[in-house]
A and B are shown apart, each in its own frame.
Chain A
Amino acid sequence: MKDTVEIRWHGRGGQGAKTAALLLADVAFKTGKYVQGFPEYGPERMGAPITAYNRISSEPITVHSNIYEPDYVVVVDESLLESIDVTKGLSKDGAVIINSEHTKEELLPMLHGYEGKVYTVDAKAISIKALGKNYPNSPMLAATVAVSKVMDHDAFLNEMKASFEHKFAKKPEVIDGNMQALEMALNEV
């Protein structure tokens, strides 16, 4: 693994891409890493394209710029593929992870000749199956951990469980569904 793993998230306002980036920073922090999680702020409105970033390292991080040559790109909303070159600057040794019910072969023509690995995960289907609602960010977070290997699966699941237990202290019934969504995504991607 490189000293610093850099991840760029593409989503639409309201889908939780920023939250997922902050959650990833959170769990990586808990496994002892130095982390950054930050959104790029522009006009904020539901449905507008948004970008968020992560740096994860075993050394302190001082850089405060956006990420132009990421190791991994996560696309929370596949409709963005039509308007944004999501793989711009993406390392050939890295990967793009796309929330889609389509296969990798079907998506390739929209990836501007990207030569690295392409992963798809049907986060919507997973979320609806596990939670009954479309919350794509948790499955995408799990898929990102699985592909980037920034931490091992058990450590990730343990930290997420603790986090959900805290976050949903008054709604314990949703914890199992959320955990199931993570596990399904870890296995599917």
Chain B
Amino acid sequence: MAIRERLSGNEAVAYAIKQINPDVMPAFPITPSTEIPQYVATYIANGEIDTEFIHVESEHSAMSATIGASAAGARALTATSSCGMALMWEELYVAASDRLPIVLALVNRALSGPININADHSDSMGARDSGWIQIYAESNQEVYDNFIQAFPIAENANVHLPVMVCQDGFITSHGVENILLVEDEKVKAFVGEYEPEHYLLNPNEKMAVGPYAVSNYYMETKRAQREAMIAAKQVILDVAKKFEEMTGRKYAFFEEYRMEDAEYAVVIIGSAAGTCKAAIEHIRNTTGKKVGLVKIRVFRPFPEEEIAKALSKVKAIAIMDRSEMFSATGGPLGAEVRAALYQAKCNAEVVNYLYGLGGRDITTDDFETVYANLEKMAQTHEPIGMYEYIGLRTEQAKEAE
């Protein structure tokens, strides 16, 4: 029987860490992820787990120490947000290219400036090319469930890649919601003991990690990382299947919500998907309009063909980004979903919305506006723009609506 609880997203991740009892956790505090190492430190102080907590002087050191521990053969993880992740930048690439199965609890927060502590995907979206698997959550339940699945994905012999488990700063990290926890022994059995195949502290196998590799090896290394990303797709699905057998909760690359007959679809990542679901129920109940949602869970590897297939029957699509990339054409999710649709020769009308930057709230009313715009676009075949804003405070935005 699952354990009925109410926890914040940070508490849920810390609880999963306690159940997993990893070997090493180096961490440096930064809002809004600070509570995660704080709770874990309490578990350690209370003797509930024997994880070695390393107090470091910066996030650069936090990821460096995590890499060192992981390369030595330990199950290692850390937590951070925003500028903390920015300070880890160099090490993110090192962790991925060294093929270390590290898990990072990322609480998404806007990058400076202006200095802002609220939810925004600019931190993890900026790291989308670093070689990490990225898994996002709508709710506290999902971030907990994703965290339990992270090590089995990362440590799989066909993968050996680090995994970022992302949740929206404050919205889920500090919001208390109902959650169903899995029993300790089941989590332990699911995640299993970590038995690294190759590790520095193995006296029988001398090896180097992270050596110099000039032009005669670098390209093959990158190709090997790509192969691992491709292999990760099946492993992510296999682990999800096993998780479903344990809990009854179903996970995949993305969730299709009311998509079976949908004519108008939103594609979105994170906590706002829950608000979108409420809007969908309201629109369907009051108008009968066929609206649906594709909520991205796995952004790296990017499930290109699967997303295009899920959207193949709709008339108009709004791809919604919670981060800028200043290409001056759209956001990162918009660019990648558009590319997927182009490859699939999709003829639907597409608009890319930027929303929620720096924690700007998005409501069910906003989603009703989005769906109304999609209906208009499908009728006139005139795109409302390559990319537009939802929730922006300008006259221009009012006209666009």
Contacts and interface: CB of A to CB of B under 8 A. Distances in A.
Given A41-B170, A63-B364, A36 B274 contact: no
Interface of A: 22, 25-26, 29, 34-39, 41, 60-66, 68
Given A29-B178, A62-B139, 10 more contacts: A34-B178, A36-B175, A36-B176, A37-B175, A38-B171, A38-B176, A39-B174, A61-B177, A62-B138, A64-B168
Contact of B178 (A35, A65, A68): A35
B113 to A, nearest CB: 15
Contacts of B18: none
A41 B117 contact: yes
A64 B271 contact: yes
A66 B272 CA distance: 11
Contacts of B32: 41
Given A26-B6, A29-B6, A64-B272, A38 B363 contact: no
A41 B118 contact: yes
Contacts, number: 60
11 contacts: A35-B177, A38-B174, A39-B170, A41-B174, A62-B277, A63-B274, A63-B278, A64-B171, A64-B272, A64-B274, A64-B275
B149 interface: no
B56 interface: no
Contact of B361 (A29, A34, A36, A66): A66
B14 to A, nearest CB: 16
Nearest first, the 8 A-B pairs at minimum CB distance are A38-B175, A62-B274, A64-B271, A29-B6, A37-B176, A65-B363, A63-B278, A62-B277
Interface of B: 6, 32, 117-118, 138-139, 168, 170-172, 174-178, 271-272, 274-275, 277-278, 359, 361-364
A107 to B, nearest CB: 29
B303 to A, nearest CB: 23
Contacts of A29: 6, 178
A147 B171 CA distance: 27
A66 B171 CA distance: 9
Nearest to A65: B363
A29 B3 CA distance: 13
Nearest to A4: B278
Contacts of A63: 274-275, 278, 364
Contacts of B176: 22, 25-26, 35-38
Nearest to A57: B178
Nearest to B363: A65
Contacts of B272: 64
A20 to B, nearest CB: 13
Contact of A64 (B6, B118, B172, B178): B172
A63 B172 CA distance: 11
Nearest to B141: A60
Nearest to A30: B6
Contacts of A62: 138-139, 274-275, 277-278
Nearest to B276: A62
Nearest to B5: A29
A187 B377 CA distance: 57
A57 B367 CA distance: 22
A144 to B, nearest CB: 16
A63 B275 CA distance: 4
A92 to B, nearest CB: 19
Nearest to A66: B361
A45 to B, nearest CB: 13
A162 to B, nearest CB: 15
A65 B364 contact: yes
A35 B363 contact: no
A29 B179 CA distance: 11
Contacts of B174: 38-39, 41
Contacts of B364: 63, 65
Nearest to B367: A65
B107 to A, nearest CB: 12
B6 A25 contact: yes
A37 B168 CA distance: 16
Contacts of A41: 32, 117-118, 170, 174, 359
B362 A65 contact: yes
A65 B364 CA distance: 8
A140 B118 CA distance: 28
B283 to A, nearest CB: 14
A61 B281 CA distance: 12
Nearest to A37: B176
Contacts of A65: 275, 361-364
B58 to A, nearest CB: 23
Contacts of A38: 170-171, 174-176
A25 B364 CA distance: 22
Contacts of A66: 361, 363
